[in-house]
Amino acid sequence: MKLIRIVATLIVAYLAGGAFAQPLTAADTVDQHEKVSLLFSPYTHHYDYDLEHKSVLMLGVEREHLDGWVDGISVFRNSFGQPSIYVYPFGGVYQDIGGITGLSFKWSAGLIYGYVGSYQSKVPLNYKGVSPGLVPALAYEFIPGWSAQVDVLGTAGLMFQLNVALN
């Protein structure tokens, strides 16, 4: 219950941060605003089979700033069934990769909490359940505001996710 309260507080604070952003000026067009997206992943493919692996579910919120900077937070049940959180204040997105409209490369960096107990060694540089995270990804916007994304989870696997713009 304590983790749920902490996560809920972080998500509310994250979303409230947009309320303090500078308003758009008359020179700005309708398309020039930061994009806030809901993230959902129902499936993660692991490169190596392990009897201890459980289904990984992820739900998050991400903000893409006008300058291409990305930040966000996600909660997930890790590969060993433990409640976990990934907070990433650093990230970027590069649109129309290779001249392909809708294809983008993303990256995020932050901290992961949740790999504890006998699973601490499953992520590098873990200290008392906290470890650094770096996630590169490819996304494709197939309908305006809707994109499919594949996250590379180091040497562990691939996470398949759906992103839906909230604004």
Structural domain spans, the chain: 2-18+34-165
pLDDT over threshold 80, residue 153: yes
114-122: average pLDDT: 95
Instruction: Please tell me the predicted confidence (pLDDT) of residue 139.
Output: 98
Fold of 2-18+34-165: Porin (2.40.160)
Instruction: Please tell me the predicted confidence (pLDDT) of residue 28.
Output: 47
* pLDDT tens string 75-85: 999 999 999 99
Q: 85 — alpha (psi -120 to 50), left (phi > 0) or beta? A: beta
Instruction: Please tell me the predicted confidence (pLDDT) of residue 109.
Output: 98
The token duo for 81 is 């069934």
Instruction: Please tell me the predicted confidence (pLDDT) of residue 24.
Output: 43
100-109: average pLDDT: 97
* pLDDT tens string 4-53: 555 545 554 555 454 444 444 444 444 578 999 999 999 999 999 899 99
CA separation for the pair 19, 12 (Å, rounded): 11
Query: In whole angstroms, what separates CA 121 from the centre of its chain?
Result: 22
140-162: average pLDDT: 96
**Residue whose entry in the numeric block shows the structure tokens 């605003």:** 33
125-145: average pLDDT: 97
Instruction: Please tell me the predicted confidence (pLDDT) of residue 31.
Output: 55
pLDDT over threshold 60, residue 143: yes
pTM, two decimals, is: 0.81
User: Rg (Cα) of the chain, in Å, rounded?
Assistant: 17
